[in-house]
């Protein structure tokens, strides 16, 4: 059952062309329909005297749903901000492909009306947690990723890595890096590197090597209950871990990146007509046959 939404929070990338105009339409609609709306404090310069502005870390507590206005990067950052709060996110795409943010500004008022009238569905998306342990097994803070955890090279040299599952050795890589992706992230960097597409409502972990120096290195799909450990075996400090393409951390030889399923799911607002397979066809042109020139002969 979908939660009842009475209060909205907004996080927007106002650097996108047209974003401020869309934000104005949103706040005007909310005032007209007596829907409380709170803006993230980073948007205060675009707020009017009648707008409510709250700190980022209080937005989840004051909202029943968060509107993420921008591209997929804005939604990924919003998901990390909300963490395990359980507050659902609705993505409004402004400008780019928007695979996660599948609602458009053209449909803004209709989208808001459907949201308030409970005409929507909630999808729960698996999240990864990544921790780094050094050679002395001292583990630092954890990071959370909705799309992927990428261990990649930090200069022109390849990285040497060893992959383990629940402590069992799987294989070694000499490659530009390794992508550990969620099913949601299967259509992002992992797909570009040759990984498989998974239904985003599944629970699984994909390991996709980046430019491996071996024809035998192929993507692997693991059960979500497995704990994957990636050990850096290169002799120099050449690696970096990146979370959802936004948060980075340098890695040293002997560092181990432990990746597992997080204790919570990110909740996304979806509308029935925008199924995963519809989005595949409309935005990635999946399975679309090339048009045939009627003038050509068989």
Q: Between 280 and 195, whose confidence is greater? A: 195
pLDDT band at 37 (very low <50, low <70, confident <90, very high): very high
Task: Judge if 8-120+271-284 and 128-263 fold alike in CATH terms.
Answer: no
**What's the whole-number mean pLDDT along residues 17-33?**
93
Q: In the prediction, which pLDDT does 134 show?
A: 79
Identify which of 96-105, 141-150, 236-245 has the greatest average pLDDT.
Answer: 141-150
Given a cut of 80, whether residue 137 has pLDDT beyond it is no
Residue 80: Cβ within 10 Å count: 17
Around 1, how many Cα atoms within 13 Å sit in the side-chain half-sphere? 2
The catalytically annotated residue of 51, 57, 64, 72 is 72
Q: What separation, in Å, do the N-terminal and C-terminal C-alpha atoms of the chain show? A: 53
| Fold annotation for 8-120+271-284 | Rossmann fold (3.40.50)
Q: In the prediction, which pLDDT does 231 show?
A: 95
Given a cut of 60, whether residue 298 has pLDDT beyond it is no
**What's the whole-number mean pLDDT along residues 94-99?**
79
**What's the whole-number mean pLDDT along residues 2-19?**
89
**Percent of the chain with pLDDT strictly greater than 70:** 94
Q: In the prediction, which pLDDT does 1 show?
A: 56
**What's the whole-number mean pLDDT along residues 120-137?**
91
**Percent of the chain with pLDDT strictly greater than 90:** 71
CA distance 77 to 84: 14
Active site residue 155: no
Could you report the per-residue pLDDT of 261-273, keeping only the tens digit for each?
999 999 999 998 8
How far, in Å, are 8, 13, 149, 244, 251 from residue 78 at the CA level?
14, 11, 17, 12, 26
The average confidence (pLDDT) of the chain is 91
**What's the whole-number mean pLDDT along residues 72-81?**
96
Q: In the prediction, which pLDDT does 157 show?
A: 86
3-state secondary structure the chain: CCCCCCCEEEEECCCCCCHHHHHHHHHHHHHHCCCCEEEEHHHHHHCCCCCEEECHHHCHHHCCEEEEEECHHHHHHHHHHHCCCCCCEEEEECCCCCCCCCECHHHHHHHHHHHHCCCCEEEEEEEEEEEEECCCCCEEEEEEECCEEEEEECCCCCEEEEEEECCEEEEEEEECEEEEECCHHHHCHHHHCCCCCCCCCCCEEEEEEECCCCCCCCCEEEECCCCEEEEECCCCCCEEEEECCCEEEEECCCCEEEEEEEEEEEEEEECCCCCHHHHHHHHHCCCCCCCCCCCCCC
Q: In the prediction, which pLDDT does 66 show?
A: 97
**What's the whole-number mean pLDDT along residues 18-42?**
92
Q: What angle do CA 192, 81, 249 make, to 5 degrees?
A: 55
56 Cβ neighbours under 8 A, 6+ residues apart: 11, 40, 41, 42, 81
Residue of 122, 126, 76 whose CA lies nearest to 101:
76
Q: What angle do CA 89, 195, 78 make, to 5 degrees?
A: 20
**What's the whole-number mean pLDDT along residues 141-164?**
93
Q: In the prediction, which pLDDT does 295 show?
A: 53
Q: In the prediction, which pLDDT does 273 show?
A: 86
Given a cut of 90, whether residue 297 has pLDDT beyond it is no
Domain limits, the chain: 8-120+271-284, 128-263
Given this structure, which CATH class describes domain 128-263? mainly beta
Could you report the per-residue pLDDT of 210-243, keeping only the tens digit for each?
999 988 899 999 999 999 999 999 876 679 999 9
**What's the whole-number mean pLDDT along residues 287-298?**
63
Given a cut of 80, whether residue 128 has pLDDT beyond it is yes
């Amino acid at each position: 059952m979908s939660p009842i939404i009475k209060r909205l929070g907004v996080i927007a990338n106002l650097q996108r062309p047209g974003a401020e105009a869309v934000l104005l339409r949103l706040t005007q609609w909310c005032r007209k329909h007596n829907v409380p709306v709170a803006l993230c404090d980073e948007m205060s310069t675009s707020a009017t005297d009648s707008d409510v502005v709250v700190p980022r870390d209080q937005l989840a507590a004051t909202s029943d749903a968060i509107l993420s206005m921008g591209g997929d990067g804005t939604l990924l950052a919003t998901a990390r901000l909300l963490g395990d709060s359980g507050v659902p996110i609705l993505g409004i795409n402004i400008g780019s492909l928007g695979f996660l943010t599948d609602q458009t500004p053209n449909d803004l008022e209709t989208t808001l009306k459907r949201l308030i009238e409970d005409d929507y569905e909630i999808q729960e998306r698996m999240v990864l947690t990544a921790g780094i342990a050094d050679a002395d097994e001292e583990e630092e803070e954890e990071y959370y990723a909705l799309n992927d955890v990428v261990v990649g090279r930090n200069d022109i040299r390849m990285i040497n890595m060893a992959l383990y599952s629940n402590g069992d050795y799987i294989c070694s890589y000499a490659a530009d890096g390794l992508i550990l992706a969620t099913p949601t992230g299967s259509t992002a960097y992992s797909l570009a590197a040759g990984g498989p597409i998974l239904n985003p409502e599944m629970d699984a972990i994909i390991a996709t090597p980046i430019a491996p120096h071996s024809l035998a290195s192929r993507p692997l799909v693991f059960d979500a209950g497995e704990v994957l450990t990636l050990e850096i075996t290169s002799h120099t400090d050449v690696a970096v871990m990146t979370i959802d393409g936004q948060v980075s951390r340098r890695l040293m030889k002997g560092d181990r990146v432990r990746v597992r399923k997080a204790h919570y799911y990110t909740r996304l607002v979806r509308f029935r007509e925008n199924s995963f397979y519809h989005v595949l066809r409309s935005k990635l042109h999946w399975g679309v046959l090339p048009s045939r020139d009627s003038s050509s002969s068989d």
